[in-house]
Amino acid sequence: MAAPPDAESLESRINKATNPLNRDTDWSSIHAFCDQLNNDLEGPQLATRLLAHKIQSPQEWEAMQALLVLETCMKNCGKRFHSEVGKFRFLNELIKVVSPKYLGSRSPEPVKKKVLELIYSWTLGLPDEAKISDAYQMLKKQGIIKQDPELPPDKLLNLPPPRPKNAIFEDEEKSKMLSRLLNSSHPEDLKAANKLIKEMVQEVENLFPLPSYSFYKLHFSVTH
């Protein structure tokens, strides 16, 4: 569905939230970014791409602001965003920031430290996202992580316990979005609804996933 003419894009919001000229944290832009990625069908996928680019910035303040946006979204956005962050595609981009074979040799130390703290907090807060734990253990084996970071209580990813799900379409966020799209008279909304239904069915099929090798390709290229 096309955005209203006066609506800001996710890209413009992340640019504001991570502007190197910001003298203070721009919380209004950060929260607007989180809200918009929740409301857009393709929000989580686009948001992770934009965040990965900003986190890899050679400017420390820009990268640290991007990590704060990521941290805020992880605490305030739901399962759709968590699932996108938990994919090898995004985790690989974070690994590049701390790996000396990629950007690690020139990434600012505070940025690398924050990346490792976030990944560790997700291993504790999102135990069902197995690829996050895989990434963390790989960094340990490579010696990039010497010991687990010490996380203050406010940095732990405290999420409410998941409700038991007995049906394909019990995901509350997606169900609300699907209902809104199906009740629309716009053809593009109905196409988006059809795409969302396919994604929800795919989630069920993913209960029996095939092995994914993309992450391990990067793993081997990092270590050899």
User: Residue ranges per domain, the chain?
Assistant: 10-142, 167-207
**Dmax (CA) of the chain:** 56
The pLDDT value recorded for residue 202 is 66
Kindly give the confidence (pLDDT) of every residue in the chain, 224 residues in length, as a single tens digit, with 9 standing for 90 and above.
444 444 689 999 999 999 999 999 999 999 999 999 998 888 999 999 999 999 999 999 999 999 999 999 999 988 999 999 999 999 999 999 999 989 988 999 999 999 999 999 999 999 889 999 999 999 999 999 988 888 766 556 555 444 444 444 456 667 777 677 677 667 776 777 677 777 776 665 555 454 444 444 454 444 44
For residue 153, what pLDDT is reported? 64
- The CATH number assigned to the domain with range 10-142 reads 1.25.40.90
Residues 106 and 200: their CA atoms lie apart, in Å, by: 40
Distance CA 104, CA 197 (A): 40
pLDDT number for residue 59 = 95
Distant-in-sequence contacts of 124-128, Cβ < 8 A, 24+ apart = 124/151, 124/156, 124/157, 125/156, 125/157, 125/158, 125/159, 126/82, 126/86, 126/157, 126/159, 128/162
CATH topology of domain 167-207: 1.20.5
* pLDDT reported for residue 175: 72
Buried b (16+ CB within 10 A) or exposed e, 101-123: ebbbeebbeebbebbbbbbbbbb
Tokens of 56: 């890899």
**Euclidean distance between CA atoms 154 and 98, whole angstroms:** 23
